[in-house]
Chain A
Amino acid sequence: MTRQLMEGCEAIAQAMVAAGCRFFSGYPMTPFTEVLEHMSRLLPTVEGVCMNADSEIEAIGMAWGATSTGTRTATGSVGQGLSLMQESLAEMSRARLPLVVLNMARGQGDYFQATRGGGHGDYTHIVLAPADVQEAVDLVGDAFNLADRWRTPVIVIGDYYLAHTQQAVEIPAIDKESHPSKPWALDGSTGGSGNARFLSPLTPNKRSDPDFVTHGGWLEALADVMDEIETGVEQRVDSFETEDAELVVVAFGTPARYLRAVVEELRTEGIPVGIIRPVTLSPFPAAAISAVADRVRGVAVFELNRGQMLVDVQLAVSGICPVTFIGGVSFDRSGFGIAPVLEIETLKAKVRACFEQCHTAVESKSR
Chain B
Amino acid sequence: MNERSVVSMRKAPSGKLVDDFTPSLIISGEHQLCPGCGEPIAMRSLVEIVAEMELTQRTIAVFGVGCYTLFASNLDIEVLQALHGRAPSLGTGVKRTRPGALVMTIQGDGDMVSEGLQEVMHAAARGEAITCVLLNNGVLGETGSQMTASTVLGQRTKNSLEGRDAEKHGYPIAIADVVAGLRGSSYVARCAVNSAGNVARTRRMIKRAFEVQWEHQGFSFIEILTMCPTGWFVDTLDAPDYLNSTLGSVYKVGVLKDECASPPIGKMDA
A-to-B contact residues, CB < 8 Å: 22-23, 25, 49, 51, 53-55, 57-69, 71, 73, 87-88, 91, 95, 186-203, 205-208
Contacts and interface: CB of A to CB of B under 8 A. Distances in A.
B102 A188 contact: yes
Given A58-B89, A58-B119, A207 B28 contact: yes
A26 to B, nearest CB: 13
B76 A196 contact: yes
Contact of B96 (A51, A192, A199): A51
B25 A192 contact: yes
A68 to B, nearest CB: 5
Q: Closest 5 A-B residue pairs measured CB to CB? A: A65-B93, A61-B89, A200-B81, A66-B93, A65-B90
A196 B58 contact: no
Contact of B93 (A23, A194, A198): A23
Interface stretch (B67-75, B140-148, B184-192, B244-252): B67-75
Given A189-B57, A208-B9, A61 B74 contact: no
B86 interface: yes
Given A57-B118, A65-B95, A66-B97, 19 more contacts: A61-B89, A61-B93, A62-B93, A66-B94, A69-B60, A73-B93, A87-B83, A186-B60, A186-B80, A191-B25, A191-B50, A192-B76, A197-B78, A197-B79, A201-B81, A207-B28, A207-B73, A207-B74, A208-B11
Contacts of B102: 188
B120 to A, nearest CB: 11
A192 B11 CA distance: 11
A211 B24 CA distance: 22
B76 to A, nearest CB: 5
Contact of A188 (B25, B60, B119): B60
Contacts of A208: 9, 11, 27-28, 76
Contacts of B9: 207-208
Nearest to A197: B78
25 contacts: A23-B93, A25-B93, A51-B92, A57-B89, A61-B86, A61-B89, A63-B93, A64-B82, A64-B86, A65-B97, A69-B94, A88-B83, A186-B80, A187-B98, A188-B58, A188-B59, A191-B58, A191-B78, A192-B25, A192-B56, A200-B72, A200-B79, A203-B73, A207-B74, A208-B28
Interface of B: 9, 11, 24-25, 27-28, 50-51, 56-60, 62, 69, 72-83, 86, 88-98, 100-102, 118-119, 122
Given A22-B97, A207-B9, A61 B90 contact: yes
Contacts of A91: 83
B79 A188 contact: no
B79 A68 contact: no
Nearest to B30: A207
Contacts of A62: 89-90, 92-93, 96
A54 B118 contact: yes
- Counting chain A CB atoms within 10 Å of each CB, the highest count among B62, B80, B95 belongs to B80
B62 to A, nearest CB: 7
A200 B119 contact: no
- Counting chain A CB atoms within 10 Å of each CB, the highest count among B25, B27, B69 belongs to B27
B107 to A, nearest CB: 13
A196 B73 CA distance: 10
Nearest to B99: A49
Contacts of B27: 206-208
B97 A191 contact: no
A33 B245 CA distance: 51
B81 A202 contact: yes
Nearest to A75: B93
**Interface secondary structure of A, over-half rule:** loop
- Counting chain B CB atoms within 10 Å of each CB, the highest count among A63, A186, A190 belongs to A186
A101 to B, nearest CB: 14
Nearest to A87: B83
Contact of B73 (A25, A71, A206): A206
A88 to B, nearest CB: 6
A88 B98 contact: no
A53 to B, nearest CB: 7
A68 B83 contact: no
A44 to B, nearest CB: 12
Contact of A66 (B62, B75, B88, B96): B96
A201 B90 CA distance: 14
A198 B89 contact: no
A209 to B, nearest CB: 9
B111 to A, nearest CB: 13
Contacts of B76: 191-196, 208
Given A64-B82, A207-B28, A208-B11, A191 B57 contact: yes
A58 to B, nearest CB: 5
A52 to B, nearest CB: 10
Contacts of B60: 69, 186-188
A81 B201 CA distance: 44
A191 B75 CA distance: 9
B184 to A, nearest CB: 13
Contact of B80 (A22, A49, A55, A68): A68
A186 B57 contact: no
Contacts of A202: 69, 72-73, 81
Contacts of A53: 89, 122
Contact of B98 (A57, A69, A95, A203): A69
B89 A196 contact: no
A196 B59 CA distance: 10
A68 B93 contact: yes
B89 A64 contact: yes
Nearest to B25: A192
Nearest to B51: A192
Nearest to A90: B83
A181 B60 CA distance: 20
A198 B78 contact: yes
